[in-house]
Amino acid sequence: MERPKAPKGWMRHVLSAVSNFHRDECFDRAAVIAYFAMLSFLPLAVILVAVGALLLGSLEEAERGTELLLRNVLYALPPQVMTEVRSLQQGIWSGLFYLPIALWSASTVFNKIEASLDHVFEVEQPRNWALGKLLAFGVVGLLSVLLVAAMVLGGILSTVDRFVDSTALAALRGAPLYQTVNGFVSRYLVPWVIAIAAFFLVYWIVPARKVPVSAAFTAASIAGTLWEALKVGFTYYVSHMASYTRTYGALTTVVLFLVWVNLSAVLLLWGGELAAVLSGHRESLGESLGGTSRGSSEAQRGSG
C-alpha cells in the first residue's frame, strides 16, 4: 500500500494546528471565553486604571493608557466605555471590598483561557485552583505592564514629534512620507508589537507545561500578525458591509463585542495549537501519517 505523502515544512505545522483545533472543539471553547470576557471587561478596565495610576503616578495618564490599550485590543472602543470606567473608578477607593471583587471578576476570563490552553497542550495535571487564580491575577498585572509600555511608546512618539517641531526638521511634518511613516508606526507597528508580546506571554506562561521560548515566540508572531490583520478586516466589514444596527438596535455594541472577542479567542486557541505542535507537545501531521502508515505496513507483514 502506497504511503500517504506528508506535507513538508511550515505547511505541516499549520495543517497540524488546524486539525488539532477542530479535534479539540476549540470553536466551542472560544465561545465560552467570549462569554466570560464580556462579564470581565468592565472590571478589567477599572483594574487597569487603578494599577496604572499606581505605576504611572497619574490617574489621567492611566486612563489614557487604558483607553489606548483597549483600542488596540478591540476593533473599536465605544466612547461610553471609558465614561463608565471613570464612573466606577471614582468609587473604587470608597471601600476595601470593591477592588478585590473587581480583580476577581476581571481574572475570570483568564481562568477559562488557561483551561482551554491546558486542553490544547494536553496537560495531564492542571494547576490547582489557588495557583490558577494567582496566575490569572498575574496576567492582569502583566496587562498593566503592557499598559505602561503602551504609554511609554506613545510618549516616545510624542517626544520625537516635539523634537521635529523644535528643529529645522519641522518642515518635514507636512511631508507625505513623514505622515505615512508616523501614522504607520503609531497605528500599526506599536499595536503589532504589543499584540505579539501579549500572545507570547499567554503561550509561554499560561499552559501548565514547559513551553520553549522559540515555540511560544514563533506562534505568537504568527498569531499576533494574523490578529492585527483580522482587526483591520473586521473594522472594514463592520463599517462598510454589516448592518448590525438595523438588526440589533441598542444591542449592537454587545453583539459586535461578542463576535470580535469570539474571533480573537478562535485565533488565540489556534495559535496555542501551533505552539503545542512546535514545542513537541502535540503530534505533527507528518508524524501522524507516518505512524498510520507504519501501523498499516506492520499489519500487512503480520498477516503475510
pLDDT attached to residue 269: 95
Given a contact cutoff of 8 angstroms between Cβ atoms, the answer to whether 269 and 29 are in contact is: yes
pLDDT attached to residue 6: 46
pLDDT attached to residue 128: 87
pLDDT attached to residue 176: 66
Opening angle at CA 211, ends 210 and 215, nearest 5: 165
Domain residue limits, the chain: 20-284
Chunk the chain into consecutive blocks of 10 residues (it has 304) and report each block's average pLDDT, rounded to whole numbers: 53 87 93 90 82 77 78 72 76 63 83 92 88 82 70 65 62 62 70 87 91 94 93 84 74 84 93 92 64 42 45
Of the candidates 93, 85, 80, the one whose C-alpha atom is nearest the C-alpha of residue 65 is 85
pLDDT attached to residue 248: 77
